[in-house]
Chain A
């Protein structure tokens, strides 16, 4: 079979590739989008870690404040109550003689 005939038969059997319009643009955009995907993945992992560390740190700070602050508060509360009670007692004591 001659080369010419082979060529004719091939051209009759297989169509030439016609590049779809806009393919270069789509390929470029796909490459850029795929390149930014790993960064996005890394960002999500980093953000999760940061959130976890932040939550633990906040819990520790509040826990520490609670543990340190509770006795002081209770101490001051008693300190504030005692004078009040004392004052009430004093008032009651003063009123009692006058009222009676």
Chain B
């Protein structure tokens, strides 16, 4: 028996790839009819392929996509913010308003002057940013200190107001009017604005209230 033409196996694969020409297919058919070995070869190939195609469909395990989402690198903040704004336009507007109002207030309080400002009473002693009411002295009228430390050792006849500063009262100190420290109130106000924003807009960090001068 003469050996089979070499191209027959190639034709078999072309046939299985669905890329055989009519002419080659005819040659293959005719050959297979008279060659049981090649017919067997062809059958084995077809069976192998059919067997593989019988593989059952495999699905990803449960929770697969959420595990992936959880392990992705953290997204940029701007995107989260933008998405949040898209989803809650009203809340976003309110939060934005509060934020801007807060910032304005904050900058007014904090930076409008920046420098020590004291009401003018003749017997006050000023050392750097320290304002002293000396022991034994009596300051008449309302006392006002901004951006400074107030040490009261003597007597003040009137209200004491300290803005953005601190106040020390010696045991000898006497103040006849009200004592008010604005930055405390301001801090509280800032705190409420900030926590309101934080609750609504967790991705956004407001400027740190700790920037205030102590």
Q: Do A and B actually bind?
A: no
User: B residues engaging A (CB < 8 A)?
Assistant: none
